[in-house]
Amino acid sequence: MAFSLCFRSWASAGPRVAVDGDDPMTWSIIEPYLPDLWEGFVTTIWLSVLTLGAATPIALAIALARHLGPRWLSVVLGIFVNLVRLLPALIVLYLVFYGSPQLGVRFQPLTAAAIGLIAMGAAYMSEDIRGGLAAVPQGPLTAAAAIGLSRTHTIRRILLPIALPLTIPPYMTRAIIMVKGTSLASLVSVSDLTAEATRASSITYQPYAFVVIAGALYLAINGVLAIVQILAERHFRRRYRMAL
């Protein structure tokens, strides 16, 4: 009798979430937060595209300048690269977000996160690209100089076509790490996927459900990058087979 009364009382109250996690996850708990998760997912994609799109050309320019430029420029850029690489990623974001107002500049959270992530991505990717440039044998470069190719043509037609295929695996690995690193933006008030999943978890006391959803969405993004890596490697193998 007592059990029956307790059961009817629980059923009339509708689905609830227990702090101890004993109640099963129900769709009615998750569904109200799907629009917020979707908005966070879109923000994460936008931040990832912006970060990769801006960091890649900056990294290429840094790598070429350090590999071919004057020594003073290589030293200056090397200081920047090593300074960013030696700091924790979260510290870099905090320096941009909290430090910029000290210089009279106040960035929005999303802008501050993008600047920090771009700086970190450019620093790390430049080292990956510089490693590919250093791996290019001197033979083709010497031959290009012997036939009178300009420095610009040598870079475009000889150096980069040989170096870029060598940088694809580390570059794509770094790209995936950068996408995962966008989750740190939630710590500087950016409403990305991680922030929305964390907020929903704290309200519903169902962290497992929202962690699984967020993990699946991050997996989808990085799965696309992994496929791009495979296709890019196949393309360069066919086009520059002799160089590889």
State the pLDDT at residue 145: 77
In a domain, 219, yes or no: yes
pLDDT reading at 177 higher than 50: yes
Place of tokens 């939630």: 186
CATH number at residue 136: 1.10.3720.10
pLDDT reading at 1 higher than 50: no
Q: Which domain holds residue 155?
A: 33-239
Average pLDDT over residues 48-65: 95
In a domain, 24, yes or no: no
In a domain, 22, yes or no: no
Kind plus residue range of the DSSP H or E element containing 127: helix 109-134
| Alpha carbon distances (Å) from 100 to 91, 107, 238 | 13, 7, 47
- Per-residue tokens: 191: 């409403």
In a domain, 172, yes or no: yes
In a domain, 139, yes or no: yes
What is the per-residue pLDDT across 205-215, written as a single tens digit (0 to 9) for each?
888 889 999 99
In a domain, 149, yes or no: yes
What is the per-residue pLDDT across 93-102, written as a single tens digit (0 to 9) for each?
999 999 988 8
Q: Are 59 and 125 in contact (CB under 8 A)?
A: yes
In a domain, 28, yes or no: no
User: Letter for the amino acid at 19?
Assistant: V
Average pLDDT over residues 95-122: 92
If one counts the domains in the chain, the total is 1
For the ranges 16-30, 68-82, 185-199, which has the lowest average pLDDT? 16-30
| Alpha carbon distances (Å) from 124 to 164, 214, 223 | 16, 26, 21
**pTM of full prediction above 0.85:** no
State the pLDDT at residue 16: 44
Query: What percentage of the chain reaches a pLDDT higher than 70?
Result: 87
- Per-residue tokens: 80: 């920047």
pLDDT reading at 76 higher than 90: yes
